[in-house]
A and B are shown apart, each in its own frame.
Chain A
Amino acid sequence: MKALRKHAWITGLAVILALLFVATKLIQPSFGASGIESLARAALPFAFATVAQAVVVIAGGIDLSIASIMAVCSVTAAVLMEGASGPAALGVVFLVLAMGGAMGALNGFLITITRVPDIVVTLAMLFVYEGVALLILNAPGGRAADWLRGLIIGGLPIPGLTGIPRALIFLLILVALVWLPIRRSRTGLSLYAVGSDALAAFRSGVNVGSTRIVAYGIAGLFAAMGGLTLTLSTGIGEPIPGPYLLASVAAVVLGGVVLGGGKGGLLGPLIAVFILRLVRMDLTLLSVDPNVSAIIEGTIMVVVVMIGGLLAAKGKL
């Protein structure tokens, strides 16, 4: 029954996404491969931020510092690639990924040793990472290696499949590469166990502290990927964090991950990201005032979580 409901939620999301694609096609008949490509590319940093948030929320936490970690990674990549744009850029990528993972793990470590609530620790770290980003680069600048940018711009270089955006494949491969092995392992099970009941998990022999550190570390890794794609798609580093925090929480909730932990996966949030991005794109295509579209987006989010809340309450009774 529970599994059915989980899948029902994801199926519902997929149907909404499909309907939105049809609507987009109706609004703009010329919408095609290039439209999907730009959608996927714009959604990329949002998708990574959401996946990062989803991992932490599944483990029962919340990470307010995601957008700041992304900013640190984005500026680090942009500054270092300015000097090393050739093959050396690959080293930069790995360095940045390691940095992101370390920043995330530091969040988890601080939460574990201080026993201060997640939301407070990550709020404090939000300021810290924001400061770090500003120290590395205090105005937008730097550059991205061109060959790396090629990874996420354009369609697949395979004949017949050029309609599939590279950004989408890039996203799916990276998320699968990190998440699937973890999900299948003992660690993955611990993440869900700690998220649904930390005390019960502790009494069953799960090391709650190190599980939290792992969860935040994975989130940091995904946030680093988000920061990298940000630099790759714009070509520069931006020290002021973008609107990724709010968007990531919204997409996580819309994607069926329960705040409080223990339930949900990464597929739902990923579909939710594309739904939210597509809504924004449709509103732009309809030439709706961007401010009005902000209201519409907020309303969608509130209505969705209210319906979700009602369903959850019904399930409990």
Chain B
Amino acid sequence: MTRAKALLRDYPIIPLLILLALLVGTLEIMRPGIVGERWIANTVKFAIPLAMLAACQTLTMLTGGIDLSAAIVATISSFVMATLVPFYGATGAILLSLLPAVAIGLLNGIGVGLFRVHPLIITLGTGLIGTGCLQVYQSTVIATGSEVPEALAWLGTGRTWGFPNALVLFVPFAALILYAQRRTGFGRLLFAMGDNEGAARLAGVRGWQVHLALYALSGLIAGIAGLLYVGLIKAPSLSLAVPLMLPSVAAAVIGGTSIFGGRGGYAGTIVGALILTVLGTMLTLLQMPEGVRRILFGGIILGVAAIHLRLTDTR
């Protein structure tokens, strides 16, 4: 028993993979034949934008923070991009649309790093400002129309040899994050700051620089996730990615990243995003009233978080 527990503690991703397999198995029993190549591709397709937004949460949560502006940033960059395409072409629009994303991220970083504001508060605030700006922006561009570039639609919805094209973007992205979090100085700084910020500071870490870089990076990732998501949904709107906000936090939490910082990682988050996506399909298939679905969704998030904590807790 203790050996099994030690194994689970060292590889917290194992119970998550088991849970994912169980969920997929249940789904197959509920609706035999549903689990096929097409279904898997679809699930992965919808899980990827969620997993990217959850990367923002994972990275910030490693330092004990959170980025509640991520979903709004994603929405802003997707909307700005779609409305700029008629003027600047696809490439120009994509590059320009990432500017507000990084700007909001920098603002978060300045608030957290230099002014020592609680990340929850500052990212809520910048999210509010962003929402307002987006609505004002919309009223100025209402006549120009919008369009989603071919390339993004290909990336978002297309499949090649059965694999969703979004993997072209996501696999290098995930590899980079996984590599960065453990093998680079920046990644280790995140863990160090989350574990004990005071000790990190005394060891010579300039916390504000890390925060600034971290939140700017989080903004950039959110922006890219938004571009990918609009390629998938193909209908830019003012609330495009907003429904992904709380699930993105949930994916990171289910994946075993501690909201107090210093523990966790992106691998668990990816599985967490897959679990949430499969769960969403399952609840839709059950054809229950919307209310019951939300109750189950909340209950399962809490249940998984509690069990995961029990299994991996070192105390």
- Write the residues of chain A forming the contact surface with B, with a CB cutoff of 8 angstroms: 62, 110, 114-117, 119-121, 123-135, 138, 246, 249-250, 253, 259-260, 289, 291-299, 301-302, 305-306, 308-310, 312-313
Contact = CB atoms under 8 A, between A and B. Distances in A.
A308 B298 CA distance: 34
A135 B306 contact: no
A259 B132 contact: no
Interface stretch (B16-24, B28-36, B86-94, B287-295): B287-295
A177 B217 CA distance: 48
Contacts of B136: 289, 291-292, 295
B302 A125 contact: yes
Nearest to A62: B120
B306 A116 contact: yes
B282 to A, nearest CB: 15
Contact of A131 (B133, B246, B258, B291): B291
A250 B124 contact: yes
Q: Is the interface of A mostly helix, strand, loop or mixed?
A: helix
Contact of A123 (B124, B129, B260, B301): B301
Given A298-B131, A313-B115, 14 more contacts: A116-B305, A120-B305, A121-B305, A123-B246, A127-B297, A127-B301, A130-B291, A131-B298, A138-B291, A246-B128, A253-B118, A298-B125, A298-B126, A310-B115
A302 B68 CA distance: 14
B298 A128 contact: yes
Contacts of B299: 124, 128
Contacts of A138: 289-291
**3 closest residue pairs by CB, A with B:** A127-B298, A131-B294, A298-B128
B294 A128 contact: yes
Given A114-B302, A130-B294, A131-B291, A305 B131 contact: no
Q: Is the interface of B mostly helix, strand, loop or mixed?
A: helix
Interface string B128-149: 1111110110010000000000
Contact of A126 (B116, B139, B246): B246
Interface of B: 66, 107, 111, 115-118, 120-122, 124-133, 135-136, 139, 246, 249-250, 253, 258-260, 289-299, 301-302, 305-306, 309, 313
A147 B289 CA distance: 34
Given A291-B136, A302-B129, A249 B309 contact: no
Contacts of B133: 295
A124 B298 contact: yes
Contacts of A249: 120-121, 124
Contacts of B116: 309-310, 312-313
B226 to A, nearest CB: 19
A115 B294 CA distance: 23
A293 B249 CA distance: 28
Contact of B298 (A125, A135, A294, A309): A125
Contacts of A293: 132
Nearest to A133: B291
